[in-house]
Structure 1
């Protein structure tokens, strides 16, 4: 696996992975996280991902030259999460191509985020995720070193804020 710096040109890859994730979630009766419609068909979501690819720092995990996962990080949280009074790195998106699920792609990208946080002098790495249903996504982040900080909602969408300290 190779992790490369990404950018605005990776927005279509990000959308394709999100579309694949939505299809998989919907096929498994798990529509609470992102619904059942492809992200690429919703102009607001397309703009959100295009903006993220332009404004956030993008990292793409590749296996044999094929994009296997994408992560976006930013120096602070999205608008629906309270900022903090210390340097941090915030994972704004983490998605894996379903063909590479269970192969450590997400964990490798999270490790990259820890390295980037340290390199930027940030002592904290934060992420938020869907906190509903059976809590499997929250548990995934816990297995990758995060601790739950708070529950929150955006409209009727239940979220969890998680963090981990990253040493220098």
Structure 2
């Protein structure tokens, strides 16, 4: 098994939305519907617009396992408009958006490879702060996933419909 990371872009939107839909399907099968609900995210105009905006304004990366798209993330210079209420870190940052994997590749390390790549890209850009936000409800597995990759909890927040969120940061 070989993991390679390539740059992505707007043409990858269907692949990215497919990965997000795969995540929703997997979360629903686990009874964990609080994060993204029960319907495919590709059917949500708001989500499609957010992913489109993110991919157009950031650096998109696709991890491929043996040539097949397996995971994605986008790096940007800020958390974006939905988190404008968060305090500024007071320094340049890179911010991870839309980390997701096709659940057929769960356990293959594609997400971990993307997080390592994001840290390296951030470091090469001369920026030392990498941040991400995620769902902090249910069993907290997602927060612990980021912590296992060197991130530490910073701000806790409540999003739309009282959605529990956690911002995490990592020095690179």
For the aligned pair, the TM-score class normalised by the smaller chain equals over 0.9
The runs of 5 or more residues in structure 1 that have no matched partner are none
Of 135, 143, 155, which aligns to 1:150?
155
CA RMSD of aligned residues (A): 0.9
Secondary structure of the residue aligned to 1:106 is: helix
Q: Is the 8 A contact 2:51 2:98 kept in 1?
A: no
Instruction: Note if contact 1:87-1:121 (Cα within 8 Å) is conserved in structure 2.
Output: no
User: Is 1:85 the counterpart of 2:97 in the alignment?
Assistant: no
- In the TM superposition, residue 52 of structure 1 has moved relative to its aligned partner by 1.5
How far the C-alpha of 1:63 sits from its partner, in A, is 1.2
Please identify runs of 4+ aligned residues in structure 1 that moved more than 4 A.
Answer: none
The count of corresponding residues between Structure 1 and Structure 2 is: 166
Partner of 1:5: 7
**Unaligned segments of structure 2, at least 5 residues:** none
Name the stretch that deviates more: 134-143 or 80-89. 80-89
Whether the 8 Å contact between 1:152 and 1:160 is mirrored in structure 2 is yes
TM-score w.r.t. length of structure 1: 0.95
Query: What CA distance in whole angstroms lies between the structure 1 residues aligned with 2:53 and 2:14?
Result: 12
- The counterpart of 2:29, out of the listed 27, 30, 33, is 27
Partner of 2:134: 129
2:125 to 116, 120, 134: 120
* Aligned positions of 1:35-54 closer than 5 A: 35-54=37-56
Contact preservation (8 Å) 2:136, 2:143: yes
Deviates more, 1:63-72 or 1:74-83: 74-83
